[in-house]
Amino acid sequence: MEALALKLMSAVPALAGVPLWAMTLLVMVVVAVILLVFALTFGGLGSYVLRKVAGDIQVRIGPNRVGPYGLLQFLADGVKLIMKEDIIPAKADRFLFALAPYLVFVGSFAAFVVVPFGVGLIASDLNIGVYYVMAVTSLVVIGVLMAGWASNNKWALLGGMRAVAQIVSYEIPVGMALLPAVLIAGSLSLQDIVRSQGGLLGIFGWNLFHNPFTFFSFFLYFTAAQAETNQTPFDLPEAESELVSGYNVEYSGIRYAFFFLAEFGDMFVVAALASACFLGGWHVPFFRAETLPGAWGNLLSLGAFLVKAFGIVLVMMWVRWTLPRLRVDQLMRMSWKYLVPLTFVNLLGVSLWLLVFRGKGIPQLIASIF
Amino acid sequence: MNGDGMGLREYINDIVEAVVTTAKGMRITARYGVDAKEEVTQQYPEVRREPEERFRGFLRNDIARCTSCTMCVKVCPVDCISLESVRGADKKMVLVSYDINIGRCMYCGLCVEVCPPKSLTHTAGYEMAMFERGEMVLHFVQEEGGEIKARVAKQVAEAAAKAAEAAKAAEAAKAAEAAKPAEAAKPVGLPAANPAPKEDLSAEAPGGSKADPEKKA
Amino acid sequence: MTRPTEALHTQEMLINMGPQHPSTHGVLRVLLRTDGEVVVNARPDIGYLHRGLEKIGERVTYAQFMPFTDRLDYLAGMNCNCAWAWAVEKLAGIEVPERAEYIRVIVSELNRISSHLIAFGSFTADMGAFTPFLYSIREREVVNDLFEMVCGNRLTYNYARVGGVSADLPQGFLEKTKEFLDYFEPKIDEYNNLISYNKIFVHRLANVAVISAKDAVGYGLTGPNLRGSGVKFDLRKDEPYSVYPKLEFDVCVGTGERGALGDCFDRYMVRINEMRQSIRILRQAVAQIPEGPVMAKVPRLFKPAAGEVYFRSECPRGETGFYIISDGTTNPSRLKIRTGSFVTMNIFETVTKGLMIADIVAVIGSFDIILPEIDR
């Protein structure tokens, strides 16, 4: 941020008099606002796409009344949610009840900071990127439990309890499934991880095809992440047909909207991580986007990244509209008896592979033969 | 994901089965998701499904043909039909009011089945909206009940007067000229003209009442 | 389960599941006492939809009660219509033309398919998969179209009459029925591929709420719930009525193929397989239906001789029986309706002990209860 501020100050002479800290702050705010707008737009359009996908799969049409093809449906929904009465149940813990949705939203939004959107397009390329994402998304748990507890509703409490158990359990396989990418890149920074998958090997430079273990790792991550974002088949915290709506059952209006946006934010973060760690992030297959002059490289890589991320989001929705829901004990069993051991075995496999083949993946090995 | 003491083979089988069955399901949903022809939704207000011939929509009574026999009232299991009639000058019943509480009606069609002159029928109408429950009553006789009663009473009185007159005349005629039957035929012909105004009224009534639900729809 | 200790005090939680709850199939209220997610006790509280149908039956004539039987089980109105007609005919000793009997069997079996479709669809929706529900609705719409063609209504049919049916089949009905059967038969395999054998779905249902054959009989379960426990009992076969003896079909029973015999999955599969059998019955009935009148000569206001009769028929949700006491007037003197769902609620408390909250939903779905039948 400071570097960007310095660059700006040197480029625009009128800004030369502004103190560095103020300029840095300004840049931070602008970047944050851009990310926020992106998150909100994604939440809105994501809800539209989700419903459209649901409609298509369920031989229906989906939203088609507001705007062309119902594209403005999310605006109508947003306006509705804002206009709605904000109800706080009489016996709720008012402070926690009011705080919870923001905590959940902050938890999912904060992860956007390290999402590598493109060449140089990252709010902050933390050297602990992956770790940071894991840490801040865990904040969601506290918000959800808070919401469940403060609602003073038994269904909400059950939902909150389920959410905590679920997210805490699935944190481990998610982390373990991401580690192979970290091992290959030798860095926790997401930009470094993306860079490590470049090269003219095209899609074979991706970690997905690095070795068989990373291939499985991707699917393990996808499964575990689906659970971490409370998507069907792991949507137990808000299991519509069991817990009515789970932890957010008492929420209405704008507070509900925050839960809603957080859910879509989580979805995007998961998809972004998957694409950055396994699908080559912003790399365009068979092309070096970073060599393009000016902003074109940035834009092209941004496009490539978004296409990959949205593709994963679409698959998540597809899964969501296909599968039934697990039971809570099966969910735990799946994490501890299947995902955790498998991810550990995978991690071991990747480590051994890297040791044996000196960090080279199958494509590189094949390429080195010729 | 079942037993605790499972072997490695079961463990792997479990995973494989989960993946395979999920993939199967996802193939089906994908096929429906991609194939736009599979969409079955009809855009209701714009696209309307033609109701079948036997469709049991709102009831409609063609009161020109109604004989006020009250069969429909008797057969209705929920008492949603109310009917009032008075005896007209020609001894036939004249409808004073024929109301169907459409909010109570369960569209069973028993009344239509029993209707002897087949004046009561189901229409294809099924759309109706109103603000109050009281509005959910279909009136099939448009004219004020009191007016009909008064008119019929007048007609009956007139007919009675005429009949009495005729009878008197006939008696007088009989007394005066026993061999002139032409005069006696006159009072018989007169009441036959009575139904004329009744038919006028009934011809417009069903149209008017029918227009109501349609307009609202 | 946590055992209360002096240091850590735990408490059972009392939760009201319903009467407004997405998966209680109406207005069933279940009083859940839970220890966390584990259900200690689940007590169904019924009566929120009580309309006094039996008392209404005493007030209206035999013919007038017909539309009320639509409301007995709104997902299987035709079956209830026919059951009532058969009961009154048995009471009054009325002979029904054969064509009318065939028509009744055809509409009953069609309705069985549409009712089982809803059972299947809502069950999967309860399990969290919403898509199969819409597929099942799509197929059910075709059946509804057929019913609209034959009787004019899509839900409350009021089609059967004492002595026959209200109207003959319309032109093209049998062809359309055949068309539907050809279209529908492969869809069952699609359902099986999509959800029935899905790993998650199987795991949610297998070994959950196992009812032994002895318990099933002892608690008076009927229909698919009884057959799910492996008891081969179907009124269409074991106490044949109408033209069922002339039609060939198998009685589907649970096999315990994915878990213990008599678990939720067996009850679910019985319904899926019964749809196949209904298709079989329909194909035969459509081929065999004779020409002729569809209504016997029955006086409009008939007075059956004083006496009593109990007639039971196989409805989609089990045995629907009408017990009628006649005192020789136009109205029944006393009417008792025995329905499958109501009796099924007896065993609910027993089988749900120790399950999880999510399983309660599975149990309700696997019993395929319908509230108007329970409360009448």
CA angle B76, B80, B83 (to 5 degrees): 90
| Dist. CA C43–CA C40, nearest whole Å | 10
Q: Please tell me which residue of chain A has the smallest CA distance to C358.
A: A242
- Given a cut of 50, whether residue B203 has pLDDT beyond it is no
- Determine whether the interchain pair A318/B30 forms a contact, defined as Cβ–Cβ distance below 8 Å: yes
d(CA A168, CA A140): 10
pLDDT digits 0-9 by tens, B151-188: 888 888 888 888 788 887 877 777 777 665 554 444 44
H helix runs in chain C, sequence order: 53-59, 66-70, 77-92, 98-126, 131-151, 173-191, 199-205, 213-218, 223-227, 235-238, 264-288, 340-351, 357-367, 371-375
Query: Reduced to 3 states, what is the DSSP secondary structure of residue C325?
Result: strand
- C130: chain A residues, CB-CB within 8 Å: 54, 58, 321
Burial of B185 (0-12, 13-18, 19+ CB in 10 A): exposed
Q: Strand C38-45 vs strand C13-17: parallel, antiparallel, or unpaired?
A: unpaired
pLDDT of residue B201: 40
Residue ranges of domains in chain C? 4-375
Q: Give the gap in angstroms from C-alpha C146 to the nearest C-alpha of chain B.
A: 9
Rounded-to-10 torsion of CA C222, C223, C229, C231:
80
B110·C198 Cβ contact <8 A = no
Using 50 as the pLDDT threshold, list the residues of chain C that sit under it.
none
pLDDT score of B216 more than 80: no
Q: Name the CA dihedral angle for B144, B150, B154, B157, rounded to a multiple of 10 degrees.
A: 130
How many other C-beta atoms lie within 10 A of the C-beta of residue C250? 13
Q: What is the pTM of this model?
A: 0.83
Q: pLDDT-derived band of residue B194, with 50, 70 and 90 as boundaries?
A: very low
Per-residue pLDDT at C113? 92
Residues C21, A244: C-beta atoms closer than 8 Å: yes
Residues of chain C contacting B109 with CB distance shorter than 8 Å: 152, 158, 166
* pLDDT value of position B200: 40
Tokens of C306: 């004083």
Largest CA distance in chain B: 125
For residues C372 and C318, give the distance between their C-alpha atoms in angstroms, rounded to a whole number: 14
**What SS3 class is residue C290?**
coil
Contact B187, B163 (CB under 8 A): yes
The 10 Å Cβ neighbour count of residue A178 is 29
Q: For an interface test with C, which of A61, A242, A329, A338 has the most C Cβ atoms less than 10 Å from its Cβ? A: A242
C131, C200, C203 ranked by CB distance to A58: nearest = C131
Residues 6+ apart with CB under 8 A from C275: C112, C113, C116, C117, C184, C188
Say if the Cβ atoms of B15 and A319 lie within 8 Å: no
Taking every pair of Cα atoms in chain A, the longest distance, rounded to a whole number of angstroms, is: 73
Give me the residue from A162, A243, A324 closest to C198, CB to CB: A324
> C interface mutation test: which of B13, B56, B71 has the most C CBs within 10 A?
B56
Residues of A in contact with C204 (CB under 8 A): 324-327, 330
Contact (CB, 8 A) for C86 and C95? no
ipTM surpassing 0.85: no
Per DSSP, the three-state class of C163 is coil
Q: Tell me the shortest Cα–Cα distance from C317 to chain B, in angstroms.
A: 23
- Percentage of chain B modeled with pLDDT above 70: 79
Q: Which residues of B touch A63 (CB under 8 A)?
A: none
Encode pLDDT of C278-309 as tens digits: 999 999 999 888 888 888 888 777 888 888 89
Q: Report the C-alpha gap between C189 and C198 in whole angstroms.
A: 13
Q: What is the pLDDT of residues A214-230, one digit of tens each?
A: 888 888 888 888 888 87
Quickly list DSSP for C46-64.
Answer: --TT---HHHHHHHS-TTT
CB contact (8 A) between residue B41 and residue A333: no
Distance from CA of B38 to the nearest CA of A (A): 6
Give the nearest chain B residue to C57 (CA atoms).
B77
Please say whether the beta carbons of A253 and A275 come within 8 A.
no
> Between vectors from CA B131 to CA B125 and to CA B135, what angle results, nearest 5°?
65
Report the alpha-carbon distance of residue C58 to residue C326 in Å, rounded. 10
pLDDT reported for residue B213: 40
Residue C344 and residue C225 in contact, taking contact as beta carbons nearer than 8 Å: yes
Which residue has tokens 């009136």? B139
Q: Say which of C13, C128, C138 has its CB closest to residue A239.
A: C128
Could you tell me which residues come within 8 angstroms of residue A307 by beta carbon, excluding any fewer than 6 positions away?
none
Range from A19-23, A343-347, C239-243, C332-336 carrying the lowest mean pLDDT: A19-23
Q: What phi and psi, each to the nearest 5 degrees, are found at residue A13?
A: -65, -30
CA dihedral sign of residues A346, A347, A348, A353: positive
Name every residue whose Cβ is closer than 8 Å to that of residue C324 and which is 6 or more positions away in sequence.
C87, C88, C91, C308, C309, C310, C332, C334, C335
d(CA A350, CA A94): 49
Residues of C in contact with B25 (CB under 8 A): 193-195, 198
- Quickly name the fold that domain C4-375 has: Cytochrome-c3 Hydrogenase; chain B (1.10.645)
**Cβ contact C110:C141 at 8 Å:** no
State how far residue A242 is from chain C, nearest Cα, in angstroms: 6
Q: Do B106 and C203 touch (CB under 8 A)?
A: no
pLDDT > 60? residue A171:
yes
Q: Which pair of structure tokens corresponds to residue B87? A: 């005896």
pLDDT higher than threshold 50 for residue B189 = no
Of the CA atoms within 13 Å of residue B58, those in its CB half-sphere come to 25
**Per-residue pLDDT reduced to its tens digit, A292-335:** 776 777 788 888 888 888 889 888 888 888 888 888 888 888 88
Q: What is the mean pLDDT of residues B191-196?
A: 41
Cα(A40)–Cα(C331) distance, integer angstroms: 66
Sign of the alpha-carbon torsion through A230, A232, A236, A240: positive
The answer to whether A242 contacts C361, with C-beta atoms less than 8 Å apart, is: yes
Q: Average per-residue pLDDT in chain B?
A: 74
**Of C52, C54, C51, C53, which Cα lies nearest the Cα of C334?**
C54
Per-residue pLDDT at B6: 67
What pLDDT sits at residue B5?
Answer: 58
Q: How far is C263 from chain A, CA to nearest CA, in Å?
A: 16
Question: A28-77 pLDDT, tens per residue?
Answer: 888 888 888 888 888 888 888 888 888 888 888 888 888 788 888 888 88
Alpha-carbon gap, residue B69 to B73, rounded angstroms: 9
**Is A58 close to C358, i.e. CB distance below 8 A?**
no
